[in-house]
């Protein structure tokens, strides 16, 4: 089939709208722009035309279509028994990206609703779409104009790539302003349910429908063979050919995580871009969810050109339009979500009572990792970490049976500032690798590291906290803890960093001079803030 290309430029606008309407009236199928994504339209009264839409897309027969109307008279032709609150939603959000599922009239073709007795209706706000519906004088059934399963089309080029030669015509226009498909809400259950999030946000809908329920399928994978309210939710959707994973975490965590991967690409935020060393596509700014919605499908389409084995997608927030973007990405990644833990680096000078924070942190849901222990693990006999150290400092840091001679290493490594730096730089990647293994799957982590900054471990932390205490208190603690005399304890204190160092480098300071209650409260205040 030869697909007619109809431009919507000023000179040819009227003629081409008329042509599109003519094709539709005669039972043909036409791709047209809407403010959300391009749709593939057919007369909603014509089972035969609807059949062509299913065939061109390769769409499963049990997935119903949305009927597009251009005025409220059409609504009563398509749907009946319309509840008051649906009319209020229409008044507030139409024309626009809201689809409402309502009881269906007889006039609408059976295949539109895939046999259900309900129909999904929306009034788009795109001028071209409205003009085509008006000219055809028909409510138009229109799913997204993509091959079923691939990302929805937000440009005419996307439609051409998927459907050229399979449909009667494509009406060309600008890229779609919203970028994700409409919000779908059903009034055929009580209370009404949000079936698919979109640019009309759950927050905005709740102003009219305070008891609105977010359907479980919005954020979780439906069980196999489970009955879902919106059939479209159960199908694999939007996935690029590259295996995709959705990654939750902040910029620093995301970049660290992705940079450590081989043969990987990223779909990321503007603010991640400069930190990433892998091939990447920026899909917007994390603070501007509409920008993410606008470019998410293009990014999913384009990422395959990098020919990487995997793509890691930085997950948006789930508020506002972010929920719609998250929902699509969840499907694009086959529900594979990686949650990067929130990491607090904990440090402080000797005797400050840093370790008493351990119990407090554990009581507040944190897992505590002892970085000294990890550092020892990173340099056990035969480890890659130890080989790297030998390469840097020579064979004489080994004992006769090829284990690490800590004293010998200390002598060399702490002889000059350069050597100390070399030590830290050499061993850091091995320590970080072990830490990452240890914290996989955890939600909140504290890295207990006396030399947090000197070692470079701070680079994988989201926030850093130091515990400080008055010198006299520390002196007493050290003498008691290590059975040390006052002079030696003082020497040790003076050899360490001073309070100023921690105040300059850490995000938060906790003072450990008073009662346990005061100490605990300071920590709890910090986690509340985070
Ligand atoms: O923004 C949009 O909604 C775009 C543009 C073209 O308007 N259209 C679109 O259509 O996204 P489609 O077919 O890709 O998605 C329609 C969604 C599917 O998830 C489908 O299962 C659901 O709406 N749906 C349609 N009729 C339904 C019904 N009677 N009950 C429940 N869900 C329904
Ligand atoms: Mg679709």
3-state DSSP of 385-423: HHHHHHHHHCHHHECCCCCECHHHHHHHHCCCHHHHHHH
Q: What is the pLDDT of residue 441?
A: 78
Nearest CA to ligand 1 atom 10: 143
CA distances, 229 to each of 58, 84, 210, 219 (Å): 21, 22, 20, 14
Q: Would you state the pLDDT for residue 295?
A: 98
Taking each helix axis from N to C terminus, what angle separates 486-495 and 471-481, rounded to the nearest 10 degrees? 120
Closest ligand to residue 35's CA: 1
Q: List the residue whose alpha carbon is closest to atom 32 of ligand 1.
A: 230
Predicted pLDDT at 235? 67
Question: Given the CA of residue 124, which atom of ligand 1 is nearest to it?
Answer: 7
Ligand 1 pocket mutation pick from 31, 50, 62, 65 by most atoms within 8 angstroms of CB: 65
Q: How far is the CA of 266 from the centre of ligand 2 (A)?
A: 24
Q: Is 67 in the pocket of ligand 1 (CB under 6 A)?
A: no
Q: Identify the three-state secondary structure at position 161.
A: helix
Residue with CA nearest ligand 1 atom 6: 39
Across the chain, which has 530 residues, the per-10-residue mean pLDDT values are: 96 97 98 98 97 96 96 97 97 98 95 95 98 98 96 97 98 98 97 98 98 95 75 77 94 88 96 97 97 98 97 96 97 93 93 88 92 95 96 96 95 93 93 90 91 91 94 94 93 92 97 89 89
Closest CA to 212 of 335, 88, 71: 88
Tokens at 431, concatenated = 């320590």
Nearest CA to ligand 1 atom 33: 230
pLDDT of residue 260: 85
Q: Report whether residue 143 contacts ligand 1, using a CB cutoff of 6 Å.
A: yes
Tokens at 111, concatenated: 């295949």
pLDDT attached to residue 256: 84
Question: What are φ and ψ of residue 288, in 5° steps?
Answer: -120, 90
Q: Is the dihedral of CA 117, 123, 129, 131 positive or negative?
A: positive
Question: Which residues 6+ apart lie within 8 Å of 223 measured at CB?
Answer: none
Give yes or no for residue 330 CB within 6 A of ligand 1. no
Determine the distance separating the centroid of ligand 2 and the alpha carbon of 143, expressed in angstroms: 6
Largest Cα–Cα distance in the chain? Answer: 99
Secondary structure element (H or E) that encloses residue 24, with its range = helix 13-25
H or E, element range at 88 = helix 84-93
Which residues have a Cβ under 8 Å from the Cβ of 117 and sit 6 or more positions away?
Answer: 103, 104
Contacts of 174-177 with CB under 8 Å at 24 or more apart are 174/33, 175/294, 176/33, 176/34, 176/35, 176/36, 176/37, 176/38, 176/126, 176/294, 177/35, 177/294
Separation CA 527–CA 446 (nearest Å): 12
Q: Is 44 in the pocket of ligand 1 (CB under 6 A)?
A: no
- 195 touches ligand 1 (CB under 6 Å): yes
The answer to whether the CB of 37 is under 6 A from ligand 1 is yes
Euclidean distance between CA atoms 337 and 341, whole angstroms: 12
The Cα-based distances of 464 to 18, 82, 371, 447, 527 in angstroms read: 65, 56, 14, 9, 12
Token pair of 51 as six digits? 């059949």
Query: With contact defined as beta carbons under 8 Å apart, do 350 and 493 qualify?
Result: yes
pTM: 0.80
Residue with tokens 């596509």: 281
From CA 152, how far away is CA 523, in angstroms rounded? 46
Ligand that comes closest to the CA of residue 53: 1
User: Ligand 1 centroid vs 149 CA: distance in angstroms?
Assistant: 13
CA of 120 to the centre of ligand 1 (A): 7
Residues with CB under 5 A from ligand 2 (ion): 144
Helices (H), 104-236: 127-136, 156-163, 202-206
């Amino acid at each position: 089939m030869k697909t007619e290309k109809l431009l919507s430029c000023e000179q040819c606008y009227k003629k081409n709208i008329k042509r599109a309407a003519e094709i539709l009236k005669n039972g043909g199928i036409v791709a047209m722009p809407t403010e959300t994504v391009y749709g593939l339209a057919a007369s909603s009264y014509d089972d035969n035309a609807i059949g062509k839409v299913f065939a061109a897309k390769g769409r499963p027969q049990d997935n119903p279509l949305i009927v597009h109307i251009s005025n409220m008279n059409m609504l009563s032709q398509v749907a009946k028994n319309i509840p008051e609150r649906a009319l209020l939603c229409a008044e507030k959000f139409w024309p626009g990206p809201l689809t409402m599922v309502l009881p269906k009239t007889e006039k609408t073709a059976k295949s539109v609703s895939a046999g259900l007795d309900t129909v999904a209706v929306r009034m788009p706000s795109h001028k071209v779409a409205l003009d085509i519906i008006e000219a055809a004088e028909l409510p138009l059934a229109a799913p997204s104009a993509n091959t079923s399963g691939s990302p929805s089309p937000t440009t005419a080029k996307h439609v051409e790539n998927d459907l050229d030669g399979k449909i009667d015509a494509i009406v060309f226009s600008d890229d779609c302003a919203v970028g994700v498909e409409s919000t779908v809400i059903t009034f055929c259950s009580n209370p009404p349910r949000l079936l698919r999030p979109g640019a009309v946000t759950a927050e905005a809908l709740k102003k009219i429908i305070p008891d609105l329920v977010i359907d479980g399928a919005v954020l979780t994978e439906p069980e196999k063979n489970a009955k879902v309210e919106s059939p479209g939710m159960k199908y694999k959707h939007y996935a690029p050919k590259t295996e995709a994973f959705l990654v939750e975490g902040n910029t620093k965590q995301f970049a660290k995580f992705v940079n450590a991967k081989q043969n990987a690409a990223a779909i990321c935020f503007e603010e991640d871009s400069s930190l990433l060393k892998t091939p990447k596509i920026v899909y917007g700014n994390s603070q501007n969810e509409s920008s993410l919605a606008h470019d998410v499908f293009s990014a999913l389409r384009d990422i395959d050109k990098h020919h990487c084995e995997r793509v890691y997608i930085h997950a948006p927030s789930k508020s506002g339009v972010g929920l719609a973007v998250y929902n699509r990405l969840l499907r694009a990644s086959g529900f594979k979500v990686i949650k990067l833990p929130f990491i607090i680096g904990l440090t402080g000078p000797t005797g400050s009572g840093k370790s008493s924070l351990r119990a407090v942190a554990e009581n507040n849901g944190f897992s505590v990792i002892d970085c000294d222990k990890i550092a020892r693990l990173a340099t056990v006999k035969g480890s890659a970490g130890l080989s790297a150290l030998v390469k840097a400092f020579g064979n004489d840091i080994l004992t006769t049976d090829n284990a690490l001679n800590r004293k010998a290493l200390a002598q060399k490594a702490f002889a000059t500032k350069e050597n100390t730096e070399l030590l830290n730089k050499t061993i850091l990647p091995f320590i970080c690798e072990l830490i990452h293994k240890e914290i996989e799957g955890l939600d909140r982590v504290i890295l207990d590291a006396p030399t947090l900054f000197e070692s470079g471990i701070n680079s994988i932390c989201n926030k850093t906290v130091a515990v400080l205490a008055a010198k006299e208190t520390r002196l007493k603690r050290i003498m008691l803890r290590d059975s040390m005399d006052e002079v030696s304890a003082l020497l040790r204190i003076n050899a360490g960093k001073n309070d100023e160092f921690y105040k300059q480098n850490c995000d938060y300071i906790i003072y450990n001079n008073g009662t346990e209650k005061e100490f605990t409260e300071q920590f709890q205040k910090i986690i509340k803030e985070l």
